[in-house]
């Protein structure tokens, strides 16, 4: 389901044909819209819209442009509205030093006030920030806004700013500017964690490139989804699933999302074999409290059995057409070689190529050469290397076995590359990884292919 997390359906631009606009949104797959209030009149309008349309929810607050109008009457009205079930957030509030339509001191004061209200009502905050990022983030931090989190709508910053917003529990709102020439949003959107974004139109404003100069509307959030998918090398359905899940966890406080034994991303089926690993890479994500990947909860309470893996992957394979089945996990699958092989043998009958993602420690872990057994069932193996010598491997990957782990990986690699499996060696474009030195090393291994993987920021 598509969600448009930022709409202004009460604006004049929609007064003649709102029913048609909503119908087009639904036809485009939009299942929910967050109607965001901006001034005193918009408070009543927003509440009315949430009553009129089952798929419209509301946020109540005052835009920084109108901070000058904030008074006790307005505050009381907003607080009363926030008692309603379908009013799910506070906003839009924040700072706008670009247009400066209210005195800056007043903007800051009213912003702090609204954060306080959000904390009281335990509802997330929809933030508007323009030419004011440093003050915005400082105030959010000072007021303890991470308690409720929120959405930085029409995200105004680059990678460093995004990191600060995410650290504070905020999602990055991505809309029409993703399609604009000279926008720096695509570079950020490419590497954002899939758990950190929501989609929005900000309609009637910010239409996508091909529609510039026209009134924007919620149906066009599909254009943003498709562009974001193309930028990230993902499928539209992946981006849609991720954005919906991120939104639902924040706005509707969706909890207890079951762990995924198998899941589909980018046209492949992945099997979440284990969380155990013999490395502890500096860039590893597995020890985070939450591990959502494109909407899937990858934190399993216990490792799945071989038959659970087979069942989960088979169910997915029945639903659609996929390129391959990949055994991976936020951990090392060869820690469970017997189950891994049992599941892979059973899944062979689906007729899809089977691949193993590994850190290359398999022979060391199992104290024997497991490559012949792997090669009997797997068509391909991807080995993550990320280092060109023992010292950098020890520093980046922090293996349990110490520096000798690097030699074990190289030995595994040579054997895997010499087997019938297609063998790919991957390195991350992560600070401290010497990609060119790794490339040179891999080029000395016959039949091994080399691939650089994008590191998604966390």
Which residues of the chain form contacts with ligand SF4 (CB under 6 A)? 277, 279-281, 284, 286, 330-332, 359, 384, 397
Give the list of residues 6+ apart from residue 95 with CB closer than 8 angstroms, or none: 64, 104, 107, 108, 111, 128, 129, 130, 132, 135, 136, 139
Least distance (Å) from ligand SF4 to the CB of residue 159?
21
Least distance (Å) from ligand SF4 to the CB of residue 214?
46
Least distance (Å) from ligand SF4 to the CB of residue 356?
13
170: β partners:
150
Least distance (Å) from Zn ion to the CB of residue 206?
9
Site string for Zn ion, 174-203 (x = CB under 5 A): ----------------------------x-
Q: Judged by CB, which is closer to ligand SF4: 94, or 331?
A: 331
**CA-wise closest residue to 105 among 116, 118, 90, 95:** 95
Q: Are 422 and 449 in contact (CB under 8 A)?
A: yes
Q: Judged by CB, which is closer to Zn ion: 5, or 334?
A: 5
Taking CB within 5 to 8 Å according to partner kind, which of ligand SF4, Zn ion, none is near residue 375?
A: none
Q: Judged by CB, which is closer to ligand SF4: 11, or 284?
A: 284
Helix axes 159-167, 133-142, angle to 10 degrees: 10
Least distance (Å) from Zn ion to the CB of residue 39?
11
Phi, psi angles (nearest 5°) of residue 46? -65, -45
Distance (Å, whole) CA 219 – CA 24: 6
Taking CB within 5 to 8 Å according to partner kind, which of ligand SF4, Zn ion, none is near residue 303?
A: none
Biggest CA pair distance of the chain:
76
Would you call 319 exposed, middle or buried from its count of C-beta atoms within 10 A (0-12, 13-18, 19+)? exposed
Q: Judged by CB, which is closer to ligand SF4: 201, or 274?
A: 274
Least distance (Å) from ligand SF4 to the CB of residue 359?
4
Q: Judged by CB, which is closer to ligand SF4: 37, or 438?
A: 438
Q: Judged by CB, which is closer to ligand SF4: 94, or 304?
A: 304
Q: Judged by CB, which is closer to ligand SF4: 95, or 326?
A: 326
175: β partners:
none
Q: Judged by CB, which is closer to ligand SF4: 157, or 193?
A: 193
Task: Look at the alpha carbons of 164, 166, 170, 172 in this order and tell me if their dihedral is positive or negative.
Answer: positive
* Range 202-221 burial, b when 16+ CB lie within 10 A, else e: bbbebbbeeeeeeebbbbbb
3-state secondary structure of 70: coil
Cα angle at 442 between 422 and 436, to 5 degrees? Answer: 130
Q: Judged by CB, which is closer to Zn ion: 202, or 217?
A: 202
Residue 355: enclosing H or E segment and its boundaries? strand 354-358
Least distance (Å) from ligand SF4 to the CB of residue 401?
12
Least distance (Å) from ligand SF4 to the CB of residue 233?
19
Q: Provide the pairing of β-strand 422-428 with 380-384.
A: parallel
Q: Judged by CB, which is closer to Zn ion: 130, or 288?
A: 130
Q: Where are the beta strands (DSSP E) in 273-333?
A: 292-293, 296-297, 325-328
Q: Are 72 and 127 in contact (CB under 8 A)?
A: no
**Which parts of 278-333 fold into alpha helices (H)?**
306-319
Q: Where are the beta strands (DSSP E) in 46-140?
A: 56-60, 87-96, 125-130
Site string for Zn ion, 133-152 (x = CB under 5 A): --------------------
Q: How far is CA 131 from the centre of its chain?
A: 25
Residues in the site for Zn ion, rule: CB under 5 A?
202
């Amino acid at each position: 389901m598509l969600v448009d997390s930022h709409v202004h359906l009460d604006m004049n631009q929609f007064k003649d044909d709102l029913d048609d606009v909503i119908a087009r949104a639904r036809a485009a797959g939009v299942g929910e819209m967050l109607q965001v209030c901006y001034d005193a009149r918009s408070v009543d309008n927003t509440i009315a819209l949430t009553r009129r349309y089952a798929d419209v929810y509301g946020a109540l607050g005052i835009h920084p442009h109108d901070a000058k109008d904030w008074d006790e009457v307005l505050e009381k009205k907003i607080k009363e509205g926030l008692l309603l079930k379908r009013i799910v957030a506070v906003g839009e509030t924040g700072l706008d030093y670009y247009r400066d339509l209210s005195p800056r001191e007043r903007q800051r004061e009213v912003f702090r006030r609204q954060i306080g209200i959000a904390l009281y009502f335990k509802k997330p905050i929809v933030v508007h920030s323009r030419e004011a990022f440093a003050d915005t983030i400082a105030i959010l931090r000072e007021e303890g806004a991470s308690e409720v989190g929120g959405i930085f709508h029409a995200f105004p910053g680059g990678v460093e700013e995004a990191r600060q917003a995410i650290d504070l529990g905020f999602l990055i709102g991505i809309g029409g500017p993703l399609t604009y020439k000279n926008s720096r949003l695509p570079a950020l959107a490419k590497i954002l964690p899939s758990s950190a974004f929501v989609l929005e139109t900000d309609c009637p404003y910010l239409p996508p490139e091909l529609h510039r100069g026209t009134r924007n509307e919620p149906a066009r959030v599909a254009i943003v989804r498709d562009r974001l998918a193309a930028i990230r090398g993902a499928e539209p359905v992946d981006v849609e699933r991720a954005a919906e899940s991120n939104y639902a966890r924040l706005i509707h406080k969706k909890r207890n999302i079951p762990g995924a034994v198998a899941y589909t991303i980018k046209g492949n089926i992945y099997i979440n074999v284990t969380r155990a690993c013999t490395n502890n890479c500096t860039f590893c994500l597995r020890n985070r409290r939450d591990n959502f990947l494109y909407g899937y909860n990858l934190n399993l309470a216990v490792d799945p059995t071989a038959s659970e893996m087979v069942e989960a992957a088979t169910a997915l394979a029945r639903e659609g057409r996929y390129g391959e089945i990949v055994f991976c996990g936020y951990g090392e699958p060869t820690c469970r070689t017997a189950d891994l092989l049992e599941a892979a043998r059973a899944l062979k009958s689906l007729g899809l190529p089977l691949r193993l993602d590994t850190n290359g420690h398999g022979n060391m872990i199992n104290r024997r050469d497991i490559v012949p057994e792997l090669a009997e069932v797997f068509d391909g193996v991807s080995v993550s290397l990320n280092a060109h010598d023992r010292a950098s491997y020890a520093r980046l990957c922090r293996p349990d076995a110490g520096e000798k782990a690097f030699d074990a990986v190289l030995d595994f690699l040579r054997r895997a590359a010499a087997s019938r499996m297609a063998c790919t060696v991957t390195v991350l474009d992560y600070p401290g990884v010497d990609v060119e030195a790794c490339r040179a090393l891999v080029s000395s291994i016959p039949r091994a292919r080399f691939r650089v993987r994008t590191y998604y920021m966390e």
